[in-house]
């Protein structure tokens, strides 16, 4: 019983913890665009490389190109990602849009 009460208190405490909005918070739409591009770059690296090490290197190089294209740093994306993770309703909306856009791109290719 004590464990159950302790778990309840822990869950209430964790649910109330919110990450502060970073100074350079990426907008929802910008996050979607960046995450779509990162997923495409990761998939391309896996598709074109049959070696795990080469795929990881290509994925990193492609990710660097995505950061450069969107004019952001990996740290900015990381901080925004952490912020949105502490607001799961927004993060769920972001990923629903990412999936929708990826499915639309796939449908156009097929």
Long-range contacts of 9-17 (CB under 8 A, 24+ apart): 17/86
Residue 68 lies in a domain: yes
Q: Looking at residue 87, what DSSP letter applies?
A: S
Residue 6 lies in a domain: no
What is the number of domains present in the chain? 1
Residue 75 lies in a domain: yes
pTM above 0.75, yes or no: yes
Residue 7 lies in a domain: no
pLDDT in tens, 44-63: 888 887 777 888 888 899 99
Range of the domain at 94: 20-109
Closest CA to 81 of 17, 33, 25, 37: 25
Cα angle for residues 43, 46, 47 (degrees, 5° grid): 85
Task: Give pLDDT tens digits along the chain (110 positions).
Answer: 455 454 445 445 545 555 667 778 999 999 999 999 999 998 888 888 777 788 888 889 999 999 999 999 999 999 999 999 999 999 999 999 999 999 999 999 88
């Amino acid at each position: 019983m004590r464990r159950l009460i302790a778990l309840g208190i822990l869950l209430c405490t964790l649910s109330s913890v919110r990450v502060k909005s970073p100074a350079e918070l990426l907008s929802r739409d910008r996050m979607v665009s960046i995450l779509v591009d990162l997923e495409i770059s990761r998939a391309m690296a896996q598709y074109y490389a049959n070696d795990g090490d080469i795929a990881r290197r290509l994925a990193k190089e492609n990710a660097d190109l995505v950061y450069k294209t969107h004019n952001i740093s990996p740290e900015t994306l990381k901080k925004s990602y952490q912020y949105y993770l502490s607001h799961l309703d927004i993060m769920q909306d972001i990923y629903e849009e990412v999936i929708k856009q990826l499915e639309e791109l796939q449908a156009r290719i097929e």
